[in-house]
């Protein structure tokens, strides 16, 4: 499978402060890649560089084989970017916005936009100024989806959406991936991303601290919980990221070696994405990883 | 892409453009009225043109500033989305800039077309050139501003880039003014160094004033540039922080720099009235504030408050709206309401809008009130309701239509005021309507944070209102003497009279107002007759005589027959002045003046202006004009008193003459000490006691002792006026009087040098070293086209006292001429002697002050050929109109000059061999009345002096049978 996104040793700083530090990343085409990290971790900067809105200081980035900065014009017909805080002309109605944007895209955009609006249950006659935060986000998504992109760059796209819309939206991402489209999505909502992402990238302090497919991650980052000491040497299986005791119960969260297979005999079980994130951040702070 | 961007930008900016377009035209109309422009082919002085140019430019700059302050904020945040659209960055911005330029093109184009169609003189290409120039400047500024906003995607970035446009615009103004001042003036042979210097200095201050409010952002631009060139960051940061902090402290966000600039402009503008600061800064201030208002509305988008504005909210001093609202009420209502109440209480009935009342307190303000009100209402109603509608109607187009409609409705309060009464109430109602919108702002503001926009906007409006009111007030106080003698009764006296109910003083006030100020008789009905005056005003000047005749014969008697019935003036005046066309064209205004029954300076100015319109351009028109002005002024005095014997003993005319002379002299001629001394001489003649003359400050203080009231002395201090005042048409009526003072020997030297400069074959010399030499060889100097008065005056310079005597003599002649005409109308024949006029037609027949005997008069009996002798060159080229007789040194007895100086004269019989012939333009039976003149040796009012030929005294009245 070819990579839709390839990033090598990417660096970006703002006024001397490092926002991205030697980032390497590859996102296969047709995958849903979740970019996870705390506020200020560098997710949005990475998104903007990929969207061609910012130029990296050094390193290289490739989107569908093109440099996102130099090939921005070409890429923008294939890559949709939804900003973290999308801002449009508030005096326009939803339909106005779609009509306005259609002037920049090939024919069919406006029809697609209307369909997406219907799917997202957006009233196209309402002014943007009258929309809720979630409604505003829906407009941004509708604009992104209406162009039929090969790559979707979604910076916190579900922020403000209600529960059911979020679910619809995320399942839509899976459908897009099924159509061979690549989705790079940043989010704080780990539980939701967990359900749709095929690749997880943890980013912290401008650095990628973990980049794994969801399957690999579930295979490697596991929990062992049992009474007393285990019958085997846990360290030989992988790195212990967290260890605790709860009454008679002992618990280990282990980052197993990459080659390790899940061995049910060992009693390992997969953990949730949120817990993974929490453990990895803790490990990052302790320089365990 | 183009489609989308055009659609969006049109939706966003169309109301702004339309508003600025209408506002600009409104300003032009208002300022045109204020500056005395007449629509059509009106001669426009360079100063006027420059002022109007800058006035036009001001809204453009305001638009630029507004876009910098607000427009950038509007786009801020959306840029990310626009940037992510699949079009090259440069294409989008190029398209938007093209639209911006086209918008500006349309805007300035609309102004320019209006200007060209209405105001621009057809024979002068300066204005069209200037329009084009403005266009280029505006395009430059706007383009750069827009580009800066979008390219840098920040407010400051846009501001910095836009400043380049502003600086370019400012420099362009300077260049434009210098161009106009130096090149045009010099080419027009009216070069005066001080004028050009004034222009340069005015613009220096103008740009300095702008710099006050932009110096700190400029500093930021400098820092930005320095960053690009690698100045160490430590230095950068510290300087940036310092600059931003300073900017923040001085500006507190959006509005304070503009308000500061407005205040500075207003203050400086009125403190330096001689400079060009008045109109540029004032108009710029209005333009900036209004632009801000419009753009503030636009900033909200149609019907919503931009989110990013809220970010500024804590710094925008939300509560400004409260003092703004209160200030608006105070400024607008408080001064007006008590005036109206007081006027009503005093029984002073309006002849027109409030100026009649306000003039009691602010003499001379009347001429400004309509324009001030117009501008105030325009802005308050227009912008106030625009803001309101934009918020509540959520539709900018509807807001635009409704707001201007509302503005027009509010302006209608003047209509009932014109017919008298109820003005104060309507004024208050109008203001309530206007401020109701702002009141709603207050309410909504506290709820929805809307005050962040409404506060500065309404405050800006209030600044404009305060500026207008104060400005007009200051102006009127600075120049109280323009044709409106100061009321000797002070405000305190009137107030005291009201308080004490002192009927004596009240009567005295009334008598004075009636007799000396209001142009109506003591028993006249105080009634304003709009049909008899306004209708006439609307008749195009070019077709006036016929239309006026028809109107007065068919329509006016129905409307004002009662008032006109005392003396059947119209027909008789037509007969009187219809004797020949030369008189006719200058006499129709006289008919109108009489018919109006409302003679005052404004009406008079219209008549004089119209007179000039119909007479200018014809041969000898200047002389004709100057000659007839005297008669009109005199008749105006007669009509004002509903009597044909104006009481000159109280010194009114002389007093007014003195005031006007000073005013005009100070305005136009930057008087030297000698000039002021000359004026002081005239003032003494007028009965004044000179207090002090301050040449450097162009002030003259004096006491006027009114002969009719010796106990009342007035301390008057007259300051110089700006050129905009000088353009008032009625000032021209006194031109000839002022020329008396100007032609004082010491002033003549300057004139001679100027003349010699123009006619470079005679370079300036010092040969005129003594006063006596000024009398030398006057006719060799082509002074007549410069000084029309001198062209028909004796060809030597008289003393101030002698010139005053000339004025008095002409007035006496006019008074006698009217009496003669009345005699003729009543008796059907001319009197045998002038003493037959008394006492029925004159209480006392005035004597010729030069002979202490009766004026000379005779009847023109028959048409005779006029034969003119060859002049000393042997040719006979001066037999035509406009030239004097050419018989050198030849006194021709019995040959009085024509009523229209320069027409070649007329005689009953004159036989001079070897001459051409011409028809005499008088009908038999015409009466010729004259004074022997200063040389006292002119039985036919013809004087023959000097080697250059003959000159008429000019003190001749020709009365048609």
| pLDDT of B501 over the 60 cut | no
Q: Whole-angstrom Cα distance, residue B67 to residue B100?
A: 11
Q: What is the mean pLDDT of residues A2-6?
A: 87
pLDDT of B440 reads 45
User: B708 and chain A: CB distance < 8 Å anywhere?
Assistant: no
B86 and A87: CB-CB below 8 Å?
A: no
Q: Which residues pair with A14 in a beta bridge?
A: A17
Do B444 and B531 sit in the same domain of this protein?
A: no
Distance from CA of B286 to the nearest CA of A (A): 28
| B235 in a structural domain | no
Q: Which tokens in the block code for residue A217?
A: 């991650």
Contacts of B4 in chain A (CB under 8 A): 99-104
Interchain pair B3, A76: CB under 8 A: no
Do A98 and A236 belong to one domain? no
pLDDT tens track for A256-281:
776 666 555 567 777 777 777 777 77
Residues B462 and B589 placed together within one structural domain of the fold: no
Q: Would residue B666 count as lying in a domain?
A: no
User: Are residues A200 and A98 part of one domain?
Assistant: yes
Predicted local confidence at residue A114, as pLDDT:
93
Residue B871 belongs to some domain of the structure = yes
Does A87 sit within 8 Å of B80, measured CB to CB? Answer: yes
Q: What percent of chain A has pLDDT over 90?
A: 4
* Nearest by Cα to B681 from B593, B637, B744: B744
Are B292 and B320 in a shared domain? no
Please report whether residue A109 resides in a domain: yes
Residues 296-315, chain B, touching A (beta carbon < 8 A) = 301-304, 306-307
Q: Considering only CB atoms, which chain B residues are within 8 Å of A76?
A: 84-87
Among the candidates A205, A238, A266, a domain finishes at A205
Question: Please, which pLDDT band fits residue B805 given cuts at 50, 70 and 90?
Answer: low
| Disruptive mutation site among B4, B6, B78, B85 for chain A (greatest number of A CBs within 10 Å) | B85
Q: Is residue B205 part of a domain?
A: yes
pLDDT top residue among B597 and A268: A268
pLDDT at residue B845 greater than cutoff 80 = yes
pLDDT at B444: 41
Report pLDDT digits (tens) over B657-677: 444 444 443 333 333 333 444
Task: Decide: residue B204, CB within 10 A, 0-12 exposed, 13-18 middle, 19+ buried.
Answer: middle
The domain boundary residue, chosen from B478, B508, B539: B478
The verdict on A272 and A129 lying in the same domain is: no
Q: How far is CA B853 from CA A241, B647, B846, B857, in A?
A: 130, 21, 9, 12
Please state the rounded mean pLDDT for residues A99-110.
86
Range of the domain at A46: 3-205
Contact criterion met (CB < 8 Å) for B78 and A127? no
- Residue B954 CA to residue B900 CA, distance in Å, equals 9
Q: From the CA of A280, how many Å to the nearest CA of chain B?
A: 33
| C-beta atoms surrounding A108 within 10 Å | 12
Same domain, B295 and B373: no
Residue B715, strand partner residues: B703
Crossing angle (nearest 10°) for helices B278-299 and B46-66: 30
Q: Between A16, A81, A102, which is nearest B84 by CB?
A: A81
In a domain, B575, yes or no: yes
Q: How confident is the model at residue B237 (pLDDT cuts 50, 70, 90)?
A: low
Report d(CA B888, CA B900) in Å as an integer: 22
Secondary structure, 3-state, B19-58? HHHHHHHHHHHHHHHHHCCCCCCCCCCHHHHHHHHHHHHH
Residue B22's Cβ-count burial label (10 Å; 0-12, 13-18, 19+) is middle
Compute the nearest-CA separation of B237 from chain A (Å): 11
Instruction: Tell me, yes or no, whether A187 and A226 share the same domain.
Output: no
Check if A105 contacts B (Cβ < 8 Å). yes
Residue A221 has pLDDT above 50, yes or no: yes
**Same-domain check for residues B427 and B532:** no
B241 to chain A, any CB pair closer than 8 A? The answer is no
Do residues A135 and A196 share a domain?
Answer: yes
Structurally, chain A folds into a number of domains equal to: 2
In this predicted structure, the answer to whether residue A59 has a pLDDT above a threshold of 80 is yes
Give chain B positions within 8 Å (CB) of A64: none
Q: What is the mean pLDDT of residues B627-644?
A: 44
Q: Output A84 or B798, whichever has higher pLDDT.
A: A84
Residue A71 maps to a domain: yes
Q: Please tell me if residue B7 touches chain A, with a CB cutoff of 8 Å.
A: yes
For the segment B57-99, what is each residue's pLDDT rounded down to a tens digit?
554 554 444 444 344 434 556 766 777 777 766 676 666 666 6
User: How close are the terminal C-alpha atoms of chain B, in Å?
Assistant: 80
CATH number of the domain residue A152 falls in? 3.40.50.300
Residue B356 has pLDDT above 60, yes or no: no
Q: Could you say which of A186, A205, A224 is where a domain stops?
A: A205
Higher pLDDT, B896 or B101: B101
| Tokens representing residue B742 in the block | 């100007």
| Residue tagged 């699949």 (tokens) | B86
Q: Who wins on pLDDT, B233 or B509?
A: B233
Same domain for B111 and B36, yes or no, is yes
Interval B337-349 mean pLDDT: 37
Structural domain includes residue A163: yes
Task: State chain A's mean pLDDT as an integer.
Answer: 81
DSSP state of B853: B
From the list B1, B83, B89, the residue facing A103 with the nearest CB is: B1
- What lies within 8 Å, CB to CB, of B832 at 6+ separation is none
What is the reported pLDDT for B927? 75
Cα(B786)–Cα(B747) distance, integer angstroms:
13
* Best-predicted range by mean pLDDT (A114-123, A212-221, A229-238, B809-818): A114-123
Residue B420 and residue B323 in one domain? yes
- Answer yes or no: is A95 within a domain: yes
Structure tokens at B777: 């060889």
Cross-chain Cβ contact B86/A76 below 8 Å: yes
Q: Does A81 touch chain B (CB under 8 A)?
A: yes
Pairwise CA distance, residues B669 & B646, whole Å: 32
B196 in the same domain as B317: no
Tell me whether the omega of the peptide bond preceding residue B839 falls within 30 degrees of 0, making it cis: yes
Average pLDDT, chain B: 44
In a domain, A210, yes or no: no
What number is the average pLDDT over the span B314-321? 31
B561-to-A26, B556, B597, B798 alpha-carbon distances in Å: 100, 7, 11, 46
The answer to whether residues A40 and A141 belong to one domain is yes
How many domains does the structure of chain B reveal?
A: 4
Q: Over 50: is that where the pLDDT of B847 sits?
A: yes
Q: Is B85 on the interface with A (CB under 8 A)?
A: yes
Domain boundary among B445, B478, B511: B478
Tell me how many degrees the CA angle B123-B128-B130 measures, rounded to the nearest 5: 125
- Taking every pair of Cα atoms in chain A, the longest distance, rounded to a whole number of angstroms, is 67
Are residue A18 and residue A159 in the same domain, yes or no?
A: yes
Judge if A20 and A146 occupy the same domain: yes
First-last CA distance in chain A: 28
Give the residue with greater pLDDT, A275 vs B511. Answer: A275
For residue B654, being part of any structural domain is answered with no
- Residue A187 and residue A156 in contact, taking contact as beta carbons nearer than 8 Å: yes
* Residues of A whose CB is below 8 A from B85: 76, 101, 104
> Quick one: A58 and A152 in the same domain?
yes
- B293 shares its domain with B322: no
Q: Is residue B738 part of a domain?
A: no
Are A25 and A125 within one domain?
Answer: yes
Full strand arrangement of the beta sheet holding A17-28:
A17-28, A3-14, A58-63
pLDDT at res. A83:
82
pLDDT band at A120 (very low <50, low <70, confident <90, very high): confident
Query: Same domain, yes or no, for B885 and B926?
Result: yes
Which of A139-143, B273-277, B428-432 holds the top average pLDDT?
A: A139-143
Asked if B483 contacts B730 with a C-beta cutoff of 8 angstroms, the reply is yes
Give the nearest partner residue to A86 out of B8, B81, B88, using CB atoms: B81
Kindly state whether residues A191 and A231 are assigned to the same domain.
no
Residue A113: which pLDDT band, with cuts at 50, 70 and 90?
Answer: very high
Domain range for residue B406?
301-478
Mean predicted confidence (pLDDT) in B714-720: 31
Mean local confidence (pLDDT), B31-37: 52
Last residue of a domain, one of A147, A173, A205: A205
Q: From the list B8, B83, B304, which residue is nearest A129 (CB)?
A: B304
Query: Which of A10-14, A141-145, B718-722 has the least mean pLDDT?
Result: B718-722
Give the pLDDT confidence of B931-957 residue by residue, as tens digits: 777 666 554 444 333 333 334 445 666
The beta-carbon neighbor of A87 closest among B5, B77, B89 is B77
Question: Would you tell me which residues 36-65 of chain A have a C-beta closer than 8 angstroms to some C-beta of chain B?
Answer: 51-53
Residue A164: the pLDDT is: 76
Judgement on whether residues B393 and B528 belong to the same structural domain of the protein? no
B241-262 exposure pattern, b = at least 16 Cβ within 10 A, e = fewer: eebbeebeeebebbbbbbbebb
Give the span between the Cα atoms of A31 and A200, in whole angstroms. Answer: 10
B611 and B473 in a common domain: no
Q: Which of A47-56, B188-197, B497-506, B761-770 has the highest mean pLDDT?
A: A47-56
Give the residue from chain A lying closest to B390, CA to CA.
A91
Q: Does B645 touch chain A (CB under 8 A)?
A: no
Reply yes or no on whether the pLDDT at B854 is more than 70: yes
**Do A256 and A121 fall within a single domain?**
no
Q: What's the mean pLDDT in B207-235? A: 49
Name the residue with higher pLDDT: B856 or B598: B856
């Amino acid at each position: 499978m070819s990579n839709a996104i390839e990033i090598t040793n990417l660096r970006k700083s703002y006024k001397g402060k490092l926002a991205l530090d030697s980032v390497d990343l590859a996102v296969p085409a047709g995958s849903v890649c979740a970019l996870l990290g705390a506020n200020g971790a560098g997710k949005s900067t990475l998104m903007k560089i990929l969207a061609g809105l910012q130029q990296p200081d050094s390193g290289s980035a490739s989107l569908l084989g093109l440099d996102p900065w130099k090939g921005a014009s070409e890429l923008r017909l294939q890559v949709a970017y939804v900003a973290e805080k999308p801002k449009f002309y508030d005096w326009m109605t939803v339909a106005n916005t779609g009509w306005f944007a259609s002037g920049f895209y090939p024919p069919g955009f406006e029809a697609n936009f209307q369909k997406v609006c219907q799917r997202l249950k957006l009233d196209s006659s309402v002014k943007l100024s009258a929309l809720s935060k979630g409604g505003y986000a829906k407009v941004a998504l509708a604009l992104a989806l209406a162009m039929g992109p090969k790559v979707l760059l979604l910076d916190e796209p579900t922020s403000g959406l209600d529960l059911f819309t979020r679910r619809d939206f995320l399942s839509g991402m899976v459908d897009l991936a099924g159509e061979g489209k690549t989705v790079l999505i940043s989010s704080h909502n780990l539980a939701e991303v967990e359900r749709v992402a095929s690749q997880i990238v943890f980013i912290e302090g401008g650095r990628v601290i973990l980049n794994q497919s969801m399957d690999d991650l579930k295979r490697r980052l596991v929990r062992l919980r049992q009474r007393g000491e285990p019958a085997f040497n846990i360290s030989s299986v992988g790195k212990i990221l967290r260890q605790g005791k709860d009454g008679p119960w002992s618990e280990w969260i282990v980052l197993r070696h990459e080659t390790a297979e899940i061995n049910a005999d060992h009693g390992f079980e997969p953990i949730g994405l949120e817990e993974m994130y929490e453990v990895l951040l803790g490990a990052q702070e302790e320089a365990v990883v | 892409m183009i489609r989308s961007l055009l659609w969006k930008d049109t939706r966003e900016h169309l109301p702004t453009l339309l508003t600025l377009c209408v506002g600009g035209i409104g300003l032009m109309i208002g300022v045109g009225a204020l500056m005395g422009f007449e629509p059509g082919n009106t001669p426009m002085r360079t100063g006027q043109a420059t002022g109007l140019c800058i006035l036009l430019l001001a809204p453009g700059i305001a638009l630029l500033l507004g876009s910098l302050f607000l427009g950038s904020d509007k786009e801020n945040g959306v840029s990310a989305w626009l940037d992510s659209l699949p079009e090259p960055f440069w294409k989008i911005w190029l398209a938007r800039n093209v639209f911006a330029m086209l918008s500006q093109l349309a805007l300035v184009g609309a102004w320019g077309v209006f200007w060209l169609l209405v105001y621009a003189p057809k024979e002068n290409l300066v204005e069209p050139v200037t329009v084009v120039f403005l266009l280029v400047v505006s395009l430059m500024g706007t383009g750069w501003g827009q580009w800066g906003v979008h390219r840098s995607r920040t407010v400051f970035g846009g501001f910095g880039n836009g400043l380049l446009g502003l600086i370019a615009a400012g420099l362009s103004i300077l260049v434009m003014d210098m161009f106009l001042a130096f090149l045009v003036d010099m080419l027009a042979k009216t070069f005066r160094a001080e004028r050009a210097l004034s222009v340069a200095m005015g613009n220096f201050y103008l740009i300095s004033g702008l710099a006050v409010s932009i110096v700190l952002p400029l500093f930021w631009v400098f820092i930005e540039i320095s960053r690009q060139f690698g100045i160490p960051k430590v230095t950068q940061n510290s300087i940036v922080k310092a600059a931003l902090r300073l900017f923040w402290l001085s500006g507190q966000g959006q509005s304070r720099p503009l308000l500061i600039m407005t205040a500075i402009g207003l203050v400086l503008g009125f403190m330096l009235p001689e400079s060009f600061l008045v109109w540029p800064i004032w108009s710029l201030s209005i333009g900036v504030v209004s632009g801000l208002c419009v753009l503030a509305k636009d900033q909200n988008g149609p019907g919503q408050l931009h989110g990013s504005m809220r970010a500024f909210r804590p710094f925008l001093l939300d509560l400004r709206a409260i003092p703004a609202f209160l200030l608006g009420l105070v400024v607008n209502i408080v001064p007006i309401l008590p005036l109206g109440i007081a006027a009503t209480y005093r029984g002073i009935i309006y002849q027109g809008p409030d100026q009649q009342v306000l003039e009691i307190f602010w003499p001379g303000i009347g001429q400004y009130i309509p324009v001030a009100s117009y501008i105030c209402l325009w802005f308050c109603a227009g912008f106030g309701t625009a803001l309101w509608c934009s918020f509540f109607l959520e539709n900018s187009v509807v807001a635009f239509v409704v707001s201007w409609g509302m503005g027009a409705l509010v302006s209608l309060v003047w209509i009932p005021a014109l017919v008298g009464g109820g003005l104060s109430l309507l004024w208050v109602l109008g203001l309530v309507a206007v401020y109701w919108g702002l009141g709603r702002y207050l309410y909504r503001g506290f709820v929805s944070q809307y005050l962040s926009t409404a506060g500065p906007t309404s405050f800006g409006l209030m600044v404009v209102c305060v500026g207008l009111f104060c400005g007009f007030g200051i102006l009127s106080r600075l120049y109280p003497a323009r044709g409106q003698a100061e009321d000797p009764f002070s405000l305190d006296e009137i107030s005291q009279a009201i308080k004490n109910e002192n009927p004596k003083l009240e009567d005295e006030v009334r008598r004075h107002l009636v007799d000396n100020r209001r142009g109506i008789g003591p028993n006249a009905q105080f009634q304003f007759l709009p049909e008899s005056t306004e209708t006439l005003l609307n008749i195009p000047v070019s077709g006036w005589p016929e239309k006026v005749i028809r109107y007065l014969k068919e329509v006016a008697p129905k409307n004002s027959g009662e008032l006109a019935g005392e003396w059947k003036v119209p027909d008789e005046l037509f007969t009187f002045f219809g004797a020949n066309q030369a008189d006719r064209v200058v006499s129709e205004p006289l008919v109108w003046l009489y018919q109006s029954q409302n003679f005052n300076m404004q009406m008079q100015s219209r008549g004089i202006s119209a007179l000039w319109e119909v007479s200018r351009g014809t041969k000898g028109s200047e002389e004709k004009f100057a000659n007839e002005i005297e008669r009109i002024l005199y008749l105006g005095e007669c009509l004002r008193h509903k009597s044909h014997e104006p009481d000159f003993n109280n010194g009114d005319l002389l007093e007014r003459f003195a005031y006007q002379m000073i005013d005009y002299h100070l305005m136009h001629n930057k008087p030297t000490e000698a000039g002021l001394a000359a004026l002081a001489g005239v003032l003494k003649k007028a009965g004044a006691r000179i207090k002090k003359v301050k040449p450097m400050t162009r002030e003259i203080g004096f006491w006027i002792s009114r002969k009719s009231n010796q106990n009342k002395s007035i301390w008057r201090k007259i300051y110089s006026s700006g050129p905009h005042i000088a353009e008032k048409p009625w000032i021209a009526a006194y031109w000839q009087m002022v020329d008396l003072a100007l032609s004082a020997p010491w002033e003549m030297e300057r004139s001679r040098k100027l003349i010699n400069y123009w006619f470079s074959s005679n370079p300036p010399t010092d040969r005129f070293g003594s006063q006596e030499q000024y009398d030398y060889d006057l006719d060799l100097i082509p002074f007549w086209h410069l000084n029309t008065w001198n062209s028909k005056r004796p060809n030597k310079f008289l003393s101030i006292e002698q010139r005053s005597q000339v004025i008095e003599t002409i007035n006496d002649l006019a008074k006698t001429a009217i009496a003669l005409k009345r005699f003729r109308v009543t008796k059907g024949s001319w009197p045998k002697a002038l003493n037959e006029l008394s006492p029925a037609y004159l209480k006392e027949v005035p004597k010729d002050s030069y002979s202490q005997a009766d004026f000379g008069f005779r009847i023109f009996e028959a048409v005779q050929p006029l034969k003119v002798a060859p002049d000393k060159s042997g040719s006979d080229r001066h037999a035509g109109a406009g030239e004097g007789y050419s018989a050198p040194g030849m006194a021709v007895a019995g040959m009085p000059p024509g009523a229209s100086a320069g027409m070649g004269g007329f005689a009953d019989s004159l036989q001079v061999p070897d001459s051409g012939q011409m028809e005499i333009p008088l009908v038999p039976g015409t009466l010729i009345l004259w004074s022997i003149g200063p040389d006292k040796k002119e039985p036919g009012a013809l004087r023959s002096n000097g080697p250059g030929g003959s000159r008429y005294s000019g003190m001749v009245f020709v009365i048609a049978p």
